[in-house]
Chain A
Amino acid sequence: MQATMSKADQRKLQKLKLKASRRDQYKRFTRSKGGNFFYTLFLILFGLFSVLPMYYCIITSFKPLDELLVFPPRFYVISPTVASYLTLPSLLDNLAVPLSRYAFNSIFVSVVTTFFHVLVGSAAAYVLAKTNIKGKTVIFAVVQMSLLYNAYTLEIPRYLIYSGLGMIDTYWAYILPMIPSSMGVFLMKQFMESNVPDALIEAAKIDGAGSFRTFWQIAMPNVKPAWLTLTLFSFRDLWSIQPGGTIFSEELKTLPFAASTIAQSGIARQGCAMAVTVIMMIPPILVYLVTQRSVTQTMSSSGIK
C-alpha cells in the first residue's frame, strides 16, 4: 500500500504529522490556563508600552491640521491625509541646501563608515581570537575599558585631535572617529572564538591560503550572522549621527540635522516633524528586516563565553 501511495498523499501525511508535532510544542507553553493568561497579559501590556510611541508617531503624521491640535491628543485618526508628507519638500526649500544633499550625506557617511568599521573591527577581532600576537591581552583590556566610556565625555580632548589632523569640517570628522569603536571588536571576538574552528584555519594555511585570504574567505563567511548584526548596530548609530561641534558648512550636514530643523519650526509643524521621523525610521527598519534572522543567533554566541 505504502509503495503505491501517491506523492501528494505522502506530502499530506507529512503535513499532518508536522501539524500535530507543532500543536504539541504550543501546548508546552505553560501547563495551566492561568499561567497562559498571565503570560499573554504581560506580553501585551509591555508590548503596548514598547510600540506606543512609534504608533503615536505614525498616527500623528497622518493627521490633518485640525486633528493635530485637539486636546487631549487622540490615538486614532478620523480623516487621514498625507498632507504632512506633501508639505515636507516645500518646508525644506527654505533650507540653504537641497534635501537630497542631506540624504546623500547621511547615506554616504552611514554606508562608508559601517563598511570600514565592520572590516577593521573584524580584522582586529580575528587576530585577537585566533592568533597569539604579543600584547593580545593588553589590547583586549583596552577594548573592555573603552566600552565603559561614553564617547562624549572625551569630546574636548578629541576635538583638539580632530583640529590637529585637519578633520574639522570634512567628512572625515564623521567617519574616522567611528571606525575604531570597540563594540564591534568585542562582539566579533566573542563570536569568532566559538564559531571559527582552529582546524579550519590550519587547513586553509596548509592548502596555501595567505593570512588575508584565510580571514576573508574562511573566517568571515563563518561568522556572517555576527558581522550582519554589527552592520545593523553600526548603521543604526551612524544613521542618527548629527554634526557636533565639528561640522560647520551646510553642505556637509546630515539628514537628522534637517529633521531637527523641521521639528523646531513650531507646534503647527508637529505633523511634518512626525512625517520626517517616520521617514527617518524606515532605513534602519529595512536593515533590521534584512539582518533580522541573524541577530538572535549572534547574540547567543557573544553571550556565552
Chain B
Amino acid sequence: MKSEENKVVKNTEQQNAPSLKEILKAEEAELKAKQKAEKLKKKQKVAYDINGKVIPDLNVKHVRGIESKKSWYGFYFVLPWIIGMVLFFIIPLINSLRYSFANVIPEEGYMQLDWVGLEHYVYLFKKDENFTTNLLGAVGDFFTSMPIVVIVSLILALILNSNFKGKTLFRGIFFVPVIVATGVVMMHLTDPFGGFGAIVQLSSSVTEDAYSAVGTSGGMDFTELLNSLELPTDITAWLSSMITDIFNTIWTCGIPVVLFIAGLQTIPAQLYEASKVEGATKWEEFWYITLPSIGQTLLLVIIFTLIELLTQTSNPVINQAYALINNTEYGISSAMLWVFFAIIGAIIGIVIFIYSKLCLKRWE
C-alpha cells in the first residue's frame, strides 16, 4: 500500500513539478523583495517602532543598536595596530618559522629557501653539543635567579610600602635606575671604555635589556678594586662574583618592586585592623593577609621576571643564536630560537598551572 501511495505522490509531483518550481521561485523572489525592502529601510536611516511605523524624531543611530555600531567602529580603532602587528611581528614570525625548516641563502631583496625538513632541529639536539648545555644552563640560571629576584623584590616592596620618612626618596632610588638605565647610558655605566660587542652594534633593540651587564665588565671594576685590597684570591673571586650577582638582582628588581608596591596598595586596610584586633603577629599577618591578597600580582611578577631573564642578551642561548646570525646561518638560528621559545612557553604554562592549582586556590 505504502509503495503505491508513494508512487502516486511521485506521479503527482512529476506532474506538478514545473508549477512547484514556479511556486518556489515566486517565494524566493518574495523573500528577496522583503530583504531588499529591509535593506532599503536600513539605508533610509529611518527608525521604526514595533508596528512598522516610522518614528520621526529619534536619532536613528541609537535605535539601530549601539552594539553593532560600536563593533564596526571598533574595527577601525584596532586596525592601525593590527596592520603594524601583522607587518612587524606576525609576518616575520612566520618567516622565521619557515627559515627553521630550510637552508637560507640571502639574495638581493629576498631569501632563497632550500627545504631540509627537520634537519636543523635534529642537528641542534644530536650534533650541536653547545646547544643542549646552553639550553640547560639558561633554564637552570632561571630557576636559581627567579626565586631570588621575586623574594628580594617582595621584601623591598613590603618595606617601601610601609609608612616611614623618606619613602618617596627610596622609591625614587629604586625606580630611577629602571628609567635611566637603557641602551648607551647603561653601557657607559658599566663599560666606559667603549667595549661595545658586535652583538650590541648589530641591533638597537638588543640594548633594551642590558641590565644584566652591570658589574660584569669595565665600569667600576670591582675585581681590580678587590685585588688591590690584597686578599686571598679565593675570597676576591667569591666577593666579586657575589657583588656581580647582587647588582644583577637589584637591577632586575626595579619593575617587580613597582608591581608589588602597586599590588600591596590595593589591600584594604580593614583587613589589617581586624587582624590587629584578633591579636595576630606580623608574621601571621603576612602569611594570611598580605600574601593571599597579592596572589595575582605575584603571578604577574613571576611571568615578568621569567620573560626578562629568559630573553635578555646575556642568555647563553640567545648569544649562541646571535653568533649564528652573524655567520648568516639563519636556518639553524631560527630553529634554535623556536626551540627556545617553545621551552619558554612550556615553562610559563607549567608555572601558571602549578601556581594557580597550589597557591591561588588555597588562598581563595
Contact = CB atoms under 8 A, between A and B. Distances in A.
Interface stretch (B46-54, B64-72, B231-239): B64-72
Contacts of B266: 300, 303-304
Contact of B188 (A153, A277, A284, A288): A277
A142 interface: yes
A211 B69 contact: yes
Contact of B89 (A29, A154, A236): A154
Contacts of A298: 262
A277 B228 CA distance: 28
Interface of A is mostly: helix
Contacts of A157: 91-93, 95-96, 99
Contacts of B83: 180
Q: Name the interface size band of chain B.
A: 35 or more
B78 interface: yes
B85 A57 contact: no
B183 A147 contact: no
B73 interface: yes
Contacts, number: 300
B300 A303 contact: yes
A150 B306 CA distance: 13
Interface of B: 59, 62, 66-67, 69-71, 73-75, 77-78, 80-85, 87-93, 95-96, 99, 109-111, 152, 155-156, 159-160, 162-165, 170-177, 179-190, 192-194, 196, 202-209, 214, 219-221, 224-225, 228, 246-247, 250-251, 258-259, 261-263, 265-266, 282, 294, 296-297, 300, 307, 311, 318, 321-322, 325, 330, 337, 341, 344-345, 348
Contacts of A126: 77
Interface of B is mostly: helix
25 contacts: A39-B159, A43-B156, A43-B159, A43-B170, A53-B220, A56-B219, A121-B81, A124-B77, A124-B78, A149-B89, A161-B87, A161-B91, A206-B62, A240-B182, A242-B184, A244-B203, A263-B184, A263-B193, A277-B185, A277-B188, A288-B176, A295-B258, A297-B262, A303-B266, A303-B294
B78 A128 contact: yes
A150 B318 contact: yes
Contacts of B179: 232, 236, 284-285, 287-288
Interface string A22-37: 0001101111000100
A1 interface: no
Q: Name the interface size band of chain A.
A: 35 or more
Nearest to A242: B204
B114 to A, nearest CB: 16
A244 B202 contact: yes
Given A133-B71, A241-B204, A300 B262 contact: yes
